[in-house]
Copies of this chain bind each other. A is one copy, B any other.
Amino acid sequence: MKYAAQMSDLDTFLAGLPDLPDHCVVRESEERRAYECDGLSAYRRMPWLVLLPETVEQVQAIVRHCQSSGIPVVARGAGTGLSGGALPLENGVLLSLAKFNRILDIDVANRLARVQPGVRNLAISEAVDQHGLYYAPDPSSQIACSIGGNVAENAGGVHCLKYGLTVHNISEIQLVTIDGELLTLGGRALDAAGYDLLALLTGSEGLLGIIVEVTVKLLPKPERAQVILAAFDDVTKAGAAVGSIIAAGIIPAGLEMMDKLSIQAAEDFVHAGYPLDAAAILLCELDGTSEEVSEHVFKVRELLKSSGATEVRTAKSDAERVRFWKGRKAAFPAVGRISPDYYCMDGTIPRKALPQVLQTIEDLSKQYGLPVANVFHAGDGNLHPLILYDANKPGELERTEEFGGRILELCISVGGTITGEHGVGMEKINQMCTQFNEAELQQFHAVKAAFDPGGLLNPGKAIPTLARCAEFGSMHVHGGQLPFPELERF
């Protein structure tokens, strides 16, 4: 057995951590249950032990002890992840960073904030608001999700089209390795000497080390932001409008698409004022200086009209702007109201492929007998199909998962990828076999071994073993036939 120590007694294990206060240890099964899943609640496991350290030294002591005992470790931020990256192990420690919740330093002159990993995403922007600054990445869970988790998943959000992903908005992290060493990765300069381990760690889903501090970049709040809502009677026209905005050299702060079912669910829930008869709507946010926004609003309105929009509305007030966004931001819970359960997918496609991808999803929806609502970060091609199902109906979850897997393969088939911003985690591990060839997966495993040769950090997630791929029947893109050979690849 790889994890021979899993049978060791809990008391013996804890005796090896004499400096960890009792209130940092969760051992009762009732309390451990709170950690049995993250935002991907279809997967659940009871952790063997939950630890909530308060200091970097305690984190170092815990991982050192886990390494010498051969006990695997799963790090957890706010537990809002949607791909099961923080799913615990029955034979492992769940290491929560929840108590690392302090903002350590705000450096206005250099526009940087040094924060602990458990600080909530939105709390950073709130703390620097008085200085006219904000932290740009805004995943839809930003009220709850933590910056450590954002780094682990390389989180995005509505504004990442213009302002980039997490990796583009951080400058330094402090990392505890499985050996208990504390490393500084990145720095405060534009470039850093040595290999770019900061970028390597970002999005590594807890497989390479434990992040105990993050220095984020702050941006000045734009002088003005304006939102345009456009309705279309045909999804294809909406897709073409997205292409024409981008081709005109305009980079909107956000460019979102919703299909009919999403529009209806959102409108019923928050009354955003969306046109219920539209086949699709686009929301286009433009920000910058006042002059720049005026100029871009004019251009985008023209482009939307010439792309065949049936209606183009510019928010007349900040209240209306907030209301336009409210529908989009409430789209997921809105879908939750019309279905007992839903499964949020996350894949990226070339923008051009949108019509054929939406058509194929509709065909698959009929084939599987499961409705789908589509929400789409249209500007960067990141699609979020929400599959509606009922977990209480026997076999429906399994059918949903199979349908979800087909959607990811569809994304790969048209030249896209299986993840936009939610990570691979447990959810997409089989599709990694389709996306990457054997040499690429082997290189991933070699990099993992360079940080964690014993494979104790978040095992079983993100990168599939070659054996798993053989079992799954991999058809990787560079080699054999694609899952949807009839579709055009962009």
- A positions within 8 Å CB-CB of B: 108-111, 132, 154, 156, 160-161, 165, 167-168, 177, 179, 181-184, 187-197, 199-200, 202-204, 208, 220, 243, 246-247, 249, 288-289, 291-292, 294-296, 348, 350-352, 380-382, 415-421, 424, 428, 432, 435-436, 439-440, 443-444, 446-451, 462-463, 478, 490
Contacts and interface: CB of A to CB of B under 8 A. Distances in A.
B462 A194 contact: yes
B417 A192 contact: yes
A167 B199 contact: yes
A177 B249 contact: no
Given A196-B202, A450-B450, 4 more contacts: A167-B199, A191-B421, A194-B435, A447-B447
A189 B249 contact: no
Contact of A450 (B187, B380, B449): B449
B191 A443 contact: no
Contacts of A190: 156, 160-161, 165, 348, 380-382, 420
Given A443-B177, A443-B183, A450-B449, A380 B424 contact: no
A177 B109 contact: no
Nearest to A202: B196
A419 B450 contact: no
B446 A451 contact: yes
Contacts of A184: 440, 478
A249 to B, nearest CB: 3
B177 A439 contact: yes
A220 B299 CA distance: 16
A240 B437 CA distance: 52
Contact of A189 (B246, B417, B443): B417
Contacts of A196: 154, 167, 199-200, 202-204
Contacts of A463: 194-195
Contacts of A447: 195, 197, 200, 447, 450
Nearest to A110: B350
Nearest to A198: B199
A435 B193 contact: yes
17 contacts: A109-B352, A161-B190, A165-B191, A181-B443, A188-B415, A191-B348, A191-B421, A193-B419, A194-B463, A195-B208, A200-B200, A289-B291, A289-B295, A291-B294, A292-B292, A443-B451, A447-B447
Nearest to A179: B439
Contact of A291 (B191, B292, B382): B292
Contacts of A181: 439, 443
